[in-house]
Amino acid sequence: ILNDFFITGITLSIDKNLIMDLVKKFGTPLYITDVDIVKQNYENVYKSFKENFGKNFKIYYAMKANFNPFILETLKELGSGVDAASPYEFLLAKKVGFRDKEISFAPPNASREEIALASENGIGTLIFDSLDMINTAKGIHFDNYGIRINPGIEAGFNEKVMTGKAYSKFGIDISHIRDAIDKANEIKIEINGFHAHIGSNILDYEPYKLLMERFKELSKFLMKKNFIDMGGGFGYDYYNGKHYDISKISKAISENFPMEFNELRLEPGRYLVVNATVLLSKINGVKEMGNKKYIQIDAGMNSLIRPALYNAYHRVELINGDSNDEKEVFDVVGPICESDDYIALNVRLKRPKIGDYLIIHDVGAYGVSMASNYNLRPIPAEVILKNGKIIGIKERDDLDSIINKYKIYNL
């Protein structure tokens, strides 16, 4: 066994022969996901909340983090629900077999057609993101209607993911909640829940305490049967490959949970999948510019945009090479025509050879789900492992699958 990826006691081990086998079969860049790790992550979160909330909570996996159907299937079997941000998300969740009542549709905005489609598909919960969206939903039935609030709390690893910050584009301003409830009543919609998502990759429990205070202020508006949806955001330490201790969050929430509410919902995305996936890439060259050294790999911002977009850190590791070799400092860069096209900066590695392989860690969340065809490169293939065996693949795009949608238009 060559690589042991230690993750809060969870170890994703991929042996070198298997890697070489996968590369031969599927080429690179290649996303490799182990669903057993997803299972362990889910069980951790579940156990931790069960201790404090018994049966009065439910996990809705935020599938925007990774919509791979094998991951969805794994979570469905464990009893998870789904937080869907778009129609294709809830339709895919249904195809995989999630019960429609256990799907919550929380789009950042939506048309009447999209809301109607959710209702026709029996989706259990609709979350309103604006006053206009309440009007848009007039006459469309759901079992549960929630209001997403903007709690005005700053949390998250990067300005770009602080969704709950005051004046962000998300949710309804707290000072407009009265209006929102009145508007809903007017059109005979009963609001029975409040929702918030404060940010992503939060390595702290304090913001969640604050969030509970905000919810408490809103309890006066609620019906008897009701819920709080606290969103996701649970953090992961990408430097050390460790999850933030979820029991701290679950404890903080239970101690501050407003008793007027009777159900807690949570929407973890990253936390459940982040360490279940690695991205395997091939080295196409090494070059020097003055005293700068670059390792050029075949995976770039088209395959994994997080470094370019958020300066996000991902551990990288060379597969080949003698551990006695001296290390040098490199930037690991991709094949895309953009200066920001990098995967890792200033990392110490042995000097690789052309054709060696590099592993990029912890790419299960917002990795392939944010990949693109920029520079007309294919979205990477994916392999899904369970018990060390391949149980599924996603084929790499080929040129036809990308461009076949272009047609000459005849009037």
Which residues belong to the active site?
A: 337
**Of the residues 234, 244, 261, 330, which one makes contact with ligand LLP according to CB under 6 A:** 234
Stretch that binds ligand LLP, among 13-21, 28-36, 113-121, 232-240 (CB under 6 A): 232-240
CA distance 62 to 363: 16
231 binds ligand LLP (CB under 6 A): yes
Stretch that binds ligand LLP, among 175-183, 265-273, 281-289, 374-382 (CB under 6 A): 265-273
Spatial CA neighbour of 19 closest among 1, 36, 38, 39? 1
- Hey, which residues between 321 and 360 contact ligand LLP (CB under 6 A)? none
- Cβ at position 171, least distance to ligand LLP in Å: 9
- Cβ at position 309, least distance to ligand LLP in Å: 7
- Cβ at position 230, least distance to ligand LLP in Å: 9
- Hey, which residues between 91 and 150 contact ligand LLP (CB under 6 A)? 106
Residue with tokens 């794994």: 74
- Hey, which residues between 178 and 217 contact ligand LLP (CB under 6 A)? 197, 200-201
Is 267 annotated to bind a ligand? Reply is yes
83 binds ligand LLP (CB under 6 A): yes
Nearest to ligand LLP of 318, 343 (CB atom): 343
CA distance 289 to 85: 44
Torsion of CA 177, 181, 186, 191, to 10 degrees: 140
273 binds ligand LLP (CB under 6 A): no
- Hey, which residues between 290 and 309 contact ligand LLP (CB under 6 A)? 306
361 binds ligand LLP (CB under 6 A): no
Nearest to ligand LLP of 233, 335 (CB atom): 233
Nearest to ligand LLP of 136, 163 (CB atom): 163
267 binds ligand LLP (CB under 6 A): yes
Beta carbons within 8 Å of 315's beta carbon, 6+ residues apart: 238, 239, 241, 344, 360, 361, 362
Residues making up the binding site for substrate: 270, 306, 310, 338, 366
Binding footprint of ligand LLP on the chain (CB under 6 A)? 62, 64-65, 83, 106, 161, 163, 197, 200-201, 231-234, 267-271, 306, 365-366
Binding site, annotated residues for pyridoxal 5'-phosphate: 233, 267-270, 366
Annotated binding residues, written as ranges, equal 233, 267-270, 306, 310, 338, 366
